[in-house]
Amino acid sequence: MFVQGCRHNLGMPATQEIAPPQVRWDLSALFASPEDPRIAASWKTAHERADLFAEKYRGKIDSADLTAKTLSEAIFELETLIQDAGKPVNYAHLLFSCDTGDPKIGSFMQSQMEMSTELSVKLMFFELELQAAPAEVIDRLLDDPDLRTYRHYIEVARAFSPHRLTEAEEIILEEVANTGCRAWVRLSEEVTSNHVFKLHVPGSDEIEELSEPEVLDRLRHPDREMRQAAADAFTAGLKELERVLVFTYNTLTGDKKLEDRLRKYPYPEHSRHLSNELDKETVDLVIGMCRDNYSLVSRFYEVKRGILGLPELTHIDRYAPLFESEEPIEWERAKAICLESFGAFSPTLEAKAAEFFDEGWIDAEPRPGKRGGAFCSYNTPDTHPVVFLSYMNKMDNVMTLAHELGHGVHASLSREQSYLNFHGTLPLAELASTFAEMLVFERVVAEASPKDRLALYAEKIEGIFATVFRQAALFRFEQRCHNERREEGEISPERFGEMWHEEIQAMFGSSVKLGDQHRIWWSYISHFFAVPFYVYAYSFGELLVLSLYQMAKEQGPAFAPRYEALLRLGGSRSPEALMATVDVDLKSREFWQGGFDAMEKLVAEFERLWAEYSGR
């Protein structure tokens, strides 16, 4: 399943007068139910096709006699096969996201992953032969018109050539993954999604039993005592899971250490850089610039401390609202805000986003067992993407909806590409989602009162900081964890907490004092477990869009068609080539600094708004 834009909602609790929307997605474009006979039939057909594919092409790709026509036909057959075979697995993951506590769904998902592994084993030879083929043979074929569609796929596959193993070794790794690393990831998701966090309601003997998203909601409550109670409940709950989560993460970092050694990756994040089609120098440039600009974080939170009237800010105050109340935003209004904001920029974006509401492509209802966060699953070009979130009637949820709809629009426009060119790399995958948030933010701010405008700027800045600086800090934490696991062995809970505390505290400087409770909060972040080093993609995406958005404003209506054309390209080119279509150089320090300059302008405007509001 191709998932983009997983976000951790930290909104205020839903206002009780307005119930959350009873909006559930329609997955019938995939299958009707886990018992749908089409699932078994699709696997049967896929295996028959895989057997014929292997019979036809094994030994023909790593050959001096390889022709462009043979390679093109082989890739086309493979592409259509894996597109169809991916649907049962996508479907199972989507069902599991909605109900992680149902053992039948968990069992169904496991069975689909195992079926997928059986198929992957049969097809594994192709990419291995493509990687092993002599450079002179492949280079001679790449410019042939027959391979124009698949040139980028071939180049990306061959980038992993130095790290391939033998077919027998690759088969073993794939077959043990379902009871190895993938099982550990599933365990971490199940225990956190289904854990009950017990919150002692301040001023009473009442104990609320909350899910992870619900207890995180309380960290934005206007009452500081409630925020402290939420932090207490969250910390206590994670402490109950600590032994499992620490052992799980140690196991997963150890598993990656082993695989990286076998594949001869020189450092832990190297495979992620290859997948993202970014070199180490570019990533280090951006992450280093994030650290160099941490002072913006301190500058903002010093102002926020003054607004809140607190002697100091702690980990329970980071997401505190500036004012006592916030008007609830029911689902239909959120829908209108997003669609109108998209439409003001591009009728195409509005039309594509409207499909998600009209066709039932969104699951927004909060309910027990539903995993936290939000995402967009691209699915396949011949079906349609879907959006997942838990909407609780707050402005923060509106921004999350806009973010995931941005992903959805990107996925919808990318459906013009074939399956192998459908998925963009992670850093650019956040482009459309972050751009969508900016469209919604500017529209809402323009219509807001001075008081609400101040609050909206605070929320937006905090969101950008969480996406740029916090994700950069998370990346540095991951680097330290993986390196220490390799050099020192298993890591203690205390040491995890120490590294986490150091990296996040460095981001805040002296503006926020993170308490000891915060030291265990690393353990709920699913990206660490499921997709190592994913997090820096958020920093890239946000900074890229902050600069790109300024470009859009400067160019006016002429920019929208260029932007749409960029989204339609999907993942058919490298990130550098894709961004070159809108005149962006990813290796330019000046370009990236533009993102930080845009942040500085937001902070300056926030300071100005507060001075104006407080001086009335």
- The pLDDT tens digits of the residues spanning 268-304 come to 999 999 999 999 999 999 999 999 999 999 999 999 9
Q: Are 382 and 83 in contact (CB under 8 A)?
A: yes
Six-digit token string for 172: 């073993």
CA distance 404 to 432: 9
Largest CA distance in the chain: 80
Q: Classify residue 128 as exposed, middle or buried by CB count within 10 Å of its CB (0-12, 13-18, 19+).
A: buried
- Radius of gyration for the alpha carbons in the chain, expressed in angstroms and rounded: 24
> What pLDDT was estimated at residue 213?
85
The residue type of 238 is L
**Residue 103 CB neighbours (<10 A):** 8
Report, as ranges of residue numbers, the positions in the chain whose pLDDT lies below 50: 1-2, 7-16
- State the DSSP code for 61: S
Give the single-character DSSP code of 267. S
Bridging pattern class, strands 197-200 and 207-210: antiparallel
CB burial class (10 A; 0-12, 13-18, 19+) of residue 174?
Answer: middle
Share of the chain above pLDDT 90, in %: 84
Element at 4 (helix H, strand E): strand 3-7
Per-residue pLDDT, 10: 37
Nearest 5°: the CA angle 49, 572, 539 is 120
In terms of DSSP H, where are the helices of 133-211? 135-141, 151-159, 167-177, 181-194
Give me the torsion for CA of 199, 201, 206, 212, rounded to 10°. -20
15-29 b/e (C-beta count within 10 Å ≥ 16 → b): beeeebbeeebebeb
pLDDT tens column, 432-465: 999 999 999 999 998 888 888 998 899 899 999 9
pTM: 0.82
Looking at residue 4, its pLDDT comes to 55
pLDDT in the model for residue 13: 39
In angstroms, the CA 74 to CA 68 distance is 10
Q: Are 253 and 480 in contact (CB under 8 A)?
A: no
Position 14 scores a pLDDT of 40
Tell me the C-alpha distance between 53 and 443, whole Å: 52
Identify the pLDDT of residue 324: 61
Exposed, middle or buried by CB within 10 Å (0-12, 13-18, 19+), for 448?
middle
